[in-house]
Amino acid sequence: MRSLTKYRRPLFFTGAGLSVESGIPTYRGAGGIWEEYDYTDYACQRAFDANPERVWDFHDVRREAVAACEPNEGHRLIAELENARIITQNIDGLHQRAGASDVIELHGSLGRVRCGGEVVENFEVPLRERRHSSGRYWRPDIVWFEDMLDPLVMQEAVRALEECDVIVSVGTSGVVYPAADLPRIAMRRGIPSIEINPEETAVSAWYTHSLRGTASEFLPTLLA
Ligand code: OAD
């Protein structure tokens, strides 16, 4: 396999597995967030409408966990690769903290809150004011279960997928749609596609190369 440095426009499609080595748990599998918490109580609009304080308590814990950790070598290597673009399902902001500038966040960010049409960056841990000056609650700017993806973000992602000449998926189980389907837009053009994951996933068969191992096992070699 060619080094990724030989491509003109590499695209990384990343998921929770990339942040494992920073100390952030995945969503599924042993120790996964959704094994411990029922999303219907913590991660959907209905839960927020019913009990915003409980939903904020949960997100404050997650914001705290992210604030306490650092980007890992995988994030850094990807950030250093020239012309690389990133489409991430992660909401932890670690790509940006590693120095990446071209990051499309499909599922929003723990570091932003919104209320009505207003969206603001906010990294306070815990969030000091849960309510907007209007009296309504701020809401994490995250795509929760049952939410639609932002059409402008989708548009940007599709453009990146149409322009790349290699796609590398790192650390995603490929079970959350529509995100899971997106890499196929790039694959349809017959470009090389690489999956890095210690386990076989629901979408492994789509990839031209499946590398069974962790991000830190494979990214340093691929990016050498
Ligand atoms: P998952 O938790 O579903 O999957 C994480 C994947 O990472 C699994 O396939 C693991 O095998 C793999 N993995 C574990 N350790 C790894 C390592 N060191 N290196 C590489 N891979 C490793 O996470 P996602 O696919 O990202 O939504 O989940 C997709 C969406 O579901 C998330 O964006 C989240 C969740 O609900 C929101 O937060 C809105």
Indicate the top mutation candidate among 12, 13, 28 to test ligand 1's pocket, ranked by most ligand atoms within 8 A of CB.
Answer: 28
**Contacts made by residues 148-154, CB under 8 angstroms, sequence distance 24+:** 149/106, 149/107, 149/178, 149/179, 150/108, 153/104, 153/105, 153/106, 154/106, 154/178
- Output the six-digit token pair for 139: 């809401």
Q: Quick one: pLDDT at residue 224?
A: 86
Considering the candidates 75, 107, 132, 209, report the single residue annotated as catalytic.
107
CA gap 26, 18 in Å, rounded:
9
52 lines ligand 1 (CB under 6 A): no
Beta bridge pairs of residue 115? 118
Model confidence over 36-89: pLDDT tens digits? 999 999 999 999 999 999 999 999 999 999 999 999 999 999 999 999 999 999
- Whole-number Å distance, alpha carbon 94 to ligand 1 midpoint, is 14
CB 176 within 8 A of CB 14: no
Q: Which helix (H) or strand (E) holds 59?
A: helix 52-67
214 lines ligand 1 (CB under 6 A): yes
169 lines ligand 1 (CB under 6 A): no
Mean pLDDT of 108-123: 97
107 is catalytic: yes
22 lines ligand 1 (CB under 6 A): no
Q: Is the pLDDT of residue 110 over 90?
A: yes
CA gap 167, 193 in Å, rounded:
5
